[in-house]
Amino acid sequence: MTLRTGPSAVQPSFTPPAETVTGAGNVVVAGPLDGRPIGRSLIPARAYTGQAEFDHEQRAVFASGWVWAGYAHWVAQPGDVRPLTVGGSPLLLVRGDDHVLRVFHNACRHRGMALTEEPIQVTQRIQCAYHCWSYHLDGSLAVAPYFKRERRTHPDQDVRDQLGLLPVASAVWAGMVFVNLAADPADGDPESGLRELLAPLQQRWGHIDFERLHLAQERDFDIDANWKLVVENFLDFYHLPFIHPQVGSVAASLDVDDVIVERDIVGGCYPRGAAGKAAKTEQQLPWLGDVPAAKLESQDIFCVFPNALLFLEADWFQVIGFDPIAPDRTVEHMAVFVDRAAAGEDYGPARKRLCEVLYEVNEQDLPILHKLQTGRRSPAADRTYLVPQWDQVTAYFQERVADKAGYR
């Protein structure tokens, strides 16, 4: 199911927070840190290190609503099958003969064996390796050999109808696959919640034509830190001039506005981020749609709770979706997209250079994340202090985690 894009009729119920403007003209939002005592962390340190807390968050955060699960291009062709794990559950991403992308639980309906643990390409059917039951790409049961203990016997139609692969609610938006393990896929409109969630972001990005995305490159990063630190570091605009000095002058790095799109989409905007910071490519890439002049220089940075980290400029779109693997391990799947008009050889060097610049920024964060994780084992880690002038956006994220996981 491809999510409808463009302005939505759904009215968001979220009331945006109050804003103040700094002396330099940047927006700071009000939020959870207002009036909070100094030196008391919003989320307990054990939530970053404990196995029990990690397991609980897998259920309470990752299996309780819409989450990023992967990329549509991972199963580009009919018959492409790719295993994933979301909220601890093994899933299968499948591209059907009808080109529709579907998500199923990765468990054979006979004895529950995982159908594959590697990406595979099949012709028309996915076969279980145990007793050779096979499934059509739409999940329905195709063949269960010797079903009645004789040659050429098959399950009766009413049995067959009940033994298809179990579907998972899923939707594709902007090249990404989202799933919801808590939604009933048989519900009439299971993706309505995602549509509602993304409506204000789609409105903000209405000038971007996400149908034109072309994958420039992708790369995985294996990070030895808790998934929440990955998000918090992404939302931390304060560290930019200190850790990533190559992106531009201190003034350009500090020129950022807090933006709370809604409670599950938080981040910021560098109003002149694309111009005030160092040019990423010598050759100008084509815009990703009909970008108004006022947005040509801006860079948006948003986390779609809990695990899609999005960067958008006029000419490129970067996604970091991630899988929480262990309390102290997270695997990021970074993908960089450009407009399809930049897919050809003539733009090859510019695409390569853009990705190198973005990889370098991400690599600079790896030792920081490692040390943030180490620090969470200190008794001082429950007495940290988020600064209201900088960290309200991070606090919004932490508050959502605390709500979902019950850290109150």
**Chain residues in the site for ligand FES (CB under 6 A):** 108, 110-111, 113, 128, 130-131, 133
Contact 353, 281 (CB under 8 A): yes
Q: Does 191 bind Fe ion (CB under 5 A)?
A: no
Closer by beta carbon to ligand FES, 130 or else 385: 130
The SS3 assignment for 66 reads strand
Contact 166, 326 (CB under 8 A): no
Partner from ligand FES, Fe ion, none contacting 383, C-beta within 5 to 8 A by type: none
Residue 81 CB neighbour total at 10 angstroms: 21
Closer by beta carbon to Fe ion, 198 or else 247: 247
Q: How far apart are CA 299 and CA 271, in angstroms?
A: 6
Partner from Fe ion, ligand FES, none contacting 399, C-beta within 5 to 8 A by type: none
Closest distance to Fe ion from the beta carbon of 234 (Å): 7
Total of residues contacting Fe ion (CB under 5 A):
1
Closer by beta carbon to ligand FES, 108 or else 395: 108
Q: How far apart are CA 213 and CA 157, in angstroms?
A: 42
Partner from Fe ion, ligand FES, none contacting 57, C-beta within 5 to 8 A by type: none
Q: Burial, 251: exposed, middle or buried (Cβ in 10 Å; 0-12, 13-18, 19+)?
A: exposed
Partner from Fe ion, ligand FES, none contacting 234, C-beta within 5 to 8 A by type: none
Partner from Fe ion, ligand FES, none contacting 365, C-beta within 5 to 8 A by type: Fe ion
- Contact range with Fe ion by CB under 5 A, out of 31-39, 162-170, 358-366, 369-377: 358-366
The SS3 assignment for 127 reads strand
Closest distance to ligand FES from the beta carbon of 347 (Å): 46
Answer positive or negative: Cα dihedral of 265, 56, 320, 82.
Answer: negative
62 bridge partner residues: none
Closer by beta carbon to ligand FES, 133 or else 305: 133
Measuring CA to CA, how many Å separate 114 from each of 105, 195, 249, 344, 360? 9, 31, 51, 39, 37
Closer by beta carbon to ligand FES, 133 or else 316: 133
Closer by beta carbon to Fe ion, 64 or else 362: 362
Closest distance to Fe ion from the beta carbon of 90 (Å): 32
Q: How far apart are CA 133 and CA 124, in angstroms?
A: 13
Closer by beta carbon to ligand FES, 12 or else 90: 90
- Spell out the residues 6+ positions from residue 138 whose beta carbon is closer than 8 angstroms to its own: 96, 98, 100, 102
Partner from Fe ion, ligand FES, none contacting 332, C-beta within 5 to 8 A by type: none
Partner from ligand FES, Fe ion, none contacting 252, C-beta within 5 to 8 A by type: none
Q: How far apart are CA 35 and CA 40, in angstroms?
A: 12
Q: Does 365 bind Fe ion (CB under 5 A)?
A: yes
Closest distance to ligand FES from the beta carbon of 110 (Å): 3
Q: Which residue ranges make up the site for Fe ion (CB under 5 A)?
A: 365
